Amino acid sequence: MSAPLLSVRDLSVVVRNGEGEQTLLDRVSLDLAPGDILGLVGESGSGKSLLCRSLVQLLPSRAISVTRGEVWMGGRDLLALGDAQIQAVRGAEIGMIFQNPSSHLDPVMRVGDQIVEGLRFHRKLNRAAAQEEAIALMGQVGFTDPARQFAAYPHEFSGGMRQRAMIAVALSCDPKVLIADEPTTALDVTIQAQILRLLMELRERRGLSIILITHDLGVVAQTCDRIAVMRQGRVVEVGDKRDILARPQHRYTKALISSHPSMPTDEANDVVDDKVDAARLPAGPARPLVEIDDLHIRYPLSGGVFGRRRSFSAVAGVSLQIRAGETVGIVGESGSGKSTLARAMLGLIPISDGHVTFDGASLRLQREATLTKMRQQAAMVFQDPFNSLNPRLTIGQTLAEVLRVQGKVAPAAIPKRVDELLRLVELDPDYAGRRPRQLSGGQCQRAGIARALAVDPRLIVADECVAALDVTIQAQIVALFQRLVRTMDLTLVFIAHDLAIVRNLCERVVVMHHGRIVEEGPCAEVFERPREAYTAALIAAIPDIDPDRRLLAPPGLLAS
């Protein structure tokens, strides 16, 4: 490796509170070479983001401080710089892009003006020159009509385009190092592939050095040159990505690799899956548990010519049958209609046309009776485990509330049933006394699953319920679902943009695009031999843990 552009030596960071002093980063040492992409991987809380914020003295709290170490760049120790000097380093030498661009773009300021701001501050351009340069930058990061989109506000863009805007803001200062903190976690697989390809192209064109923070080893394998693995504030392993992926030395690195939901490719897996499908599906023409027939969901739009009402079709003519005991994955890009279909399936949104039938009862013909039946026999697990639970109630109170409303358990038996539900999702009964904020993301999602199980359901709909979790926690939640389906005779509808997880969990997959089902069938068959170009594009965009497998984002098919 050439002489490092950025060198971190023995960096330690602590937090001081009423309980004393706790070490958050423990003697971390790293090097970043010119033009390299370094992947920083590890679970939430391992110290990845804190390390990168420490480089530019952007610690999140006054209670957190650097106690030792050095950060060398350009012959200077960045930790020894004063406020004015480090302010000049931020953006101009080290730029940052974040996981959630909506939280870091000013919602009341035009996107173009936010790019202009950096150009004028760091490069001292006048307004006209800065605007011209900002429009050019927007073109470089993939805006299709930068001159027009310059005047747009962040809320007018999709998630992928907001992330491009965030990258343009970071590039406006022409930094030497770009820190990308989980830039694709909240994006679907196709947009993720586009953003990752964009970062790689920017590295080639501008000679950027990039630190890519992620919990997905597939992303690292496809984009990075070197990997540093962090756990509990320490770097436990660092080296060339091929060496680490092929010959991991630390047991934690081995656990990360084994948890990654890589897509199986050998034919043996297909044979096994076909046997599992045949064994699990009920024989004969049994009545479907859920039957959807020519379903349409339309939302009214404002405006229209001569008083005509316009509408947007979120779901357009979908027909689907789900049999008892099946595990069905619904996949597609953001905006494809997956979540809308799921909510219509459970009677949570009105139907414009068509029919949804649950165990023979029709939502349109017998709405009240069918909704009562669904509330007793179906439940949903949501994407955000924290916001889906009442923050004022303990986990035990949340579960007890569901049990009281359902009325299936005698009041005196509710505490015992709460303990049983927590054990079902592999949580200690002691967690009944904790509130959501006292739990990790994975523990909170388990509590959400326990709440769904409190209904004693026949059907669970899980809507992107592992999207925000680390890869190791994702693996645990998927294993939990597999065990629950196997032991409790559940029917599972699993909505996701991570096709690899669907491939590992589900027997059948439904592919949606623009509100329609474009392909469906057994997972092994669809993923190995997709009939539709759109399905093939989704599969090609999945980051694989094999570093020699190219990351593809086919142009023209996948709009941002």
* Location of structure tokens 């029709």: 362
Beta-carbon count within 10 A of 268 CB: 9
**Exposed (0-12), middle (13-18) or buried (19+): which is 460, by Cβ within 10 Å?**
buried
pLDDT, tens digit, 9 for 90 and up, residues 175-218:
899 999 888 776 777 777 878 888 888 888 888 899 999 877 88
Report, as ranges of residue numbers, the positions in the chain whose pLDDT lies below 50.
265-284, 554-560
CB 240 within 8 A of CB 247: no
Q: Residue 419: what pLDDT? A: 94
Closest CA to 195 of 170, 176, 177: 170
Residue 31 to residue 226: CA distance in whole angstroms = 10
Q: Residue 171: what pLDDT? A: 85
**Dmax (CA) of the chain:** 75
Task: State the CATH class of domain 270-540.
Answer: alpha beta
Closest CA to 478 of 26, 155, 467, 233: 467
CB 31 within 8 A of CB 6: yes
pLDDT, tens digit, 9 for 90 and up, residues 463-481:
888 876 777 788 888 888 9
Residue 355 to residue 291: CA distance in whole angstroms = 8
CB 324 within 8 A of CB 491: yes
Q: What pTM was estimated for this model as a whole?
A: 0.72
* Location of structure tokens 């030498």: 93
**Helices (H), ranges, 224-309:** 241-246, 251-259, 267-280
Beta-ladder partners of 321 = 291
Residue 276 to residue 266: CA distance in whole angstroms = 16
Q: Residue 560: what pLDDT? A: 37
Q: Residue 191: what pLDDT? A: 75
Burial 401-435 (b: 16+ CB within 10 A, else e): ebbeeeeebeeeebeebbbbbbebbebebebbebe
Q: Structural domain boundaries of the chain?
A: 270-540
**Strands of 327-331's sheet in order across:** 378-381, 459-463, 491-496, 327-331, 508-513, 516-522
